[in-house]
């Protein structure tokens, strides 16, 4: 309304001025009218911007009211351009917790990384037009014909920079997450005409998806055979070696070590924010995923580094029959993300590297583990694994692992840790899903600041008396 009123006033003014036409020429009027209109338009734009800001402020206020029981002091707004590590350090938070809000840390959803990528602004933005990425094929000359060349290039570049895997003389197979590659690997490593399914084992505690993904389709080719520590069957087998391990963060080697072994190394967490990079891994079949490397789980992209050509071919065939390739759009997006990370580390000594992805995420994990250990100590009810310090060639410093999950043990006679935490509205995955005791739970360390901070706050407030109440309630 205000703008319309303003416009009427201007028109009136102009018509009054028309009476003076004998004094001023038409050109004078046009210039004057133009000046007035420019002033009017800029006022409309200005007020429009104010209005938008007000709307955003109102939305934010509304959102913070809705997140009811948590109040966090001055969260820094995302800046549009890359900033330094210090400005991206974990913000200190003051939290009020009335114990009512459910904190769900059951999944390893890597939303912790959103803040970093938000602060990177448009540097990782790519535009894909309607006519692009239309063909099924990415590179018909490549054994893995649906692998985008730029993604392959950036995978090799990043591994060389970080030093966590050898890529020379390896075939790269891309998959819809490393979950698809895991299944492709089981298919490729199992003989097609064996009299019985190949045994698939992993040392407990193992990643909880391995048994269910392995047996989901009741394949005649392979079958879950449980804890590798108890495996004593003759004949060929597949051992899954996850290092650092999900759920307990341990650094692992194969445990069965018998003839007929086929190893799949799951290196989802062999990145410097989680563990020191001691040497480039060079095993026969290694799995990686953007989900935990950069936090882009929603892209659904993983890659396998495979030494043997026939195995790589069979894995490619599996994906061909399963999904006829892997999203090109995702691969192009991932290539950009990896490129931005690598660019910040090259040339060596690039001043930008202190604010780069691995430096940022490493210090974030460090702070989170400090906060968690202090909360566990304050409570007195929980214990956590300790990790020996070793030298990281990439970061140039020694540190102990700071895993993506906390393998939390309830002390004080609590037999079912998951159940105990659930009573306090903390959801974590029960140890029995990992082939371990229910005294343990796996807690995601990769959630957003708000959830994580609330979690440590609540954990620190749980004491022995509450564990006794709990035991009395559940016989």
Ligand X SMILES: Cc1ncc(COP(=O)(O)O)c(C=O)c1O
Q: Where does this chain bind ligand X (CB under 6 A)?
A: 108, 177-179, 207, 242, 246, 266, 268, 289, 291, 297, 302
CB of 258 to ligand X, least distance (A): 23
| Nearer Cβ to ligand X (190/291) | 291
Beta bridge partners of 222: 198
CA 178/CA 174 separation, integer angstroms = 8
Helix axes 149-162, 328-345, angle to 10 degrees: 30
Q: Would you say the C-alpha torsion 462, 463, 469, 471 has a positive or negative sign?
A: positive
CB of 424 to ligand X, least distance (A): 25
Q: What is the CA radius of gyration of the chain?
A: 29
Beta bridge partners of 104: 427
CB of 177 to ligand X, least distance (A): 3
CA 255/CA 239 separation, integer angstroms = 8
Nearest-CB residue to ligand X? Answer: 177
CB-based contact 427:109 (threshold 8 Å): no
| Nearer Cβ to ligand X (242/460) | 242
Enter the tokens of residue 8. 């009427």
| Nearer Cβ to ligand X (291/331) | 291
CB of 44 to ligand X, least distance (A): 48
Pairing of strands 426-427, 429-430: unpaired
CB of 244 to ligand X, least distance (A): 9
Helix axes 26-66, 2-18, angle to 10 degrees: 170
CB-based contact 450:94 (threshold 8 Å): no
CB of 304 to ligand X, least distance (A): 11
Nearest alpha carbon to residue 274 among 371, 361, 162? 361
| Nearer Cβ to ligand X (108/197) | 108
CA 408/CA 384 separation, integer angstroms = 5
| Nearer Cβ to ligand X (107/423) | 107
The dihedrals phi and psi of 245, each to the nearest 5 degrees, come to: -85, 145
CA 249/CA 76 separation, integer angstroms = 31
| Nearer Cβ to ligand X (332/419) | 332
CB of 207 to ligand X, least distance (A): 4
CB of 52 to ligand X, least distance (A): 37
| Nearer Cβ to ligand X (207/382) | 207
CA 241/CA 289 separation, integer angstroms = 15
CA 36/CA 14 separation, integer angstroms = 10
Pairing of strands 397-400, 389-392: antiparallel
| Nearer Cβ to ligand X (167/246) | 246
| Nearer Cβ to ligand X (189/414) | 189
Q: Up-side HSE of residue 434: CA atoms within 13 Å toward CB?
A: 28
CB of 97 to ligand X, least distance (A): 27
The DSSP call for residue 136 is S
CB of 250 to ligand X, least distance (A): 12
Q: Give SS3 for 412.
A: coil
The DSSP call for residue 88 is G
| Nearer Cβ to ligand X (116/303) | 303
Q: Give SS3 for 430.
A: strand
């Amino acid at each position: 309304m205000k703008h319309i009123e303003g416009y009427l006033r201007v028109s009136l003014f102009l018509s009054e001025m028309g009476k003076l036409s004998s004094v001023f020429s038409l050109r004078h009027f046009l210039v004057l009218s133009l000046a007035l209109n420019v002033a009017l338009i800029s006022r409309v734009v200005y007020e429009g911007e104010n209005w938008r800001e007000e709307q955003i402020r109102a939305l934010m206020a509304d959102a913070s009211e809705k997140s009811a029981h948590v109040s966090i002091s001055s969260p820094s707004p995302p800046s549009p351009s890359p900033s330094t590590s210090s400005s991206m350090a974990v913000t200190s938070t003051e939290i009020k917790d009335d114990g009512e809000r459910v904190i769900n840390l059951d999944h390893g959803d890597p939303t912790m990384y959103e803040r970093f990528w938000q602060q990177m602004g448009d540097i990782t933005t790519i535009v894909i037009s309607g006519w692009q990425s239309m063909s099924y094929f990415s590179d018909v000359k490549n054994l893995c014909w649906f692998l985008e060349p730029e993604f392959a290039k950036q995978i090799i570049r990043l591994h060389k920079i970080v030093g966590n895997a050898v890529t020379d003389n390896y075939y790269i197979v891309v998959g819809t997450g490393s979950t698809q590659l895991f299944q492709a690997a089981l298919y490729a490593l199992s003989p097609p005409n064996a009299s019985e399914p190949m045994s698939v084992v992993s040392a407990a505690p193992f990643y909880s998806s391995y048994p269910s993904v392995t047996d989901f389709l009741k394949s005649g080719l392979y079958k879950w055979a449980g804890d590798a520590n108890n495996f004593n069957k003759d004949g060929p087998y597949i051992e899954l070696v996850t290092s650092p391990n999900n759920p307990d963060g341990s650094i692992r080697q194969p445990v069965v070590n018998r003839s007929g072994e086929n190893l799949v190394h799951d290196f989802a967490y062999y990145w410097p924010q989680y563990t020191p990079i001691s040497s480039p891994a060079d095993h026969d079949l290694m799995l990686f995923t953007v989900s935990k490397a950069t936090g882009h789980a929603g892209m659904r992209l993983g890659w396998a580094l495979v030494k043997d050509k026939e195995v790589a071919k069979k894995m490619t065939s599996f994906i061909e029959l399963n999904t006829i390739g892997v999203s090109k759009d995702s691969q192009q997006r991932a290539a950009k993300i990896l490129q931005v990370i690598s660019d910040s580390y090259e040339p060596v000594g690039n001043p930008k590297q202190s604010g780069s992805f691995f430096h940022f995420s490493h210090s974030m994990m460090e702070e989170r583990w400090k906060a968690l250990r202090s909360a566990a100590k304050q409570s007195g009810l929980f214990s956590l694994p300790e990790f020996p310090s070793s030298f990281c060639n990439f970061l140039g410093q020694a540190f102990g692992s700071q895993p993506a999950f906390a393998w939390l043990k309830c002390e004080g006679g609590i037999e079912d840790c998951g159940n105990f935490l659930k009573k306090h509205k903390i959801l974590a995955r029960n140890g029995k899903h990992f082939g371990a005791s229910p005294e343990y739970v796996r807690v995601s360390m990769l959630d957003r600041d708000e959830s994580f901070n609330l979690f440590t706050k609540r954990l620190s407030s749980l004491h022995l008396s509450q564990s006794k109440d709990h035991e009395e309630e559940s016989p």
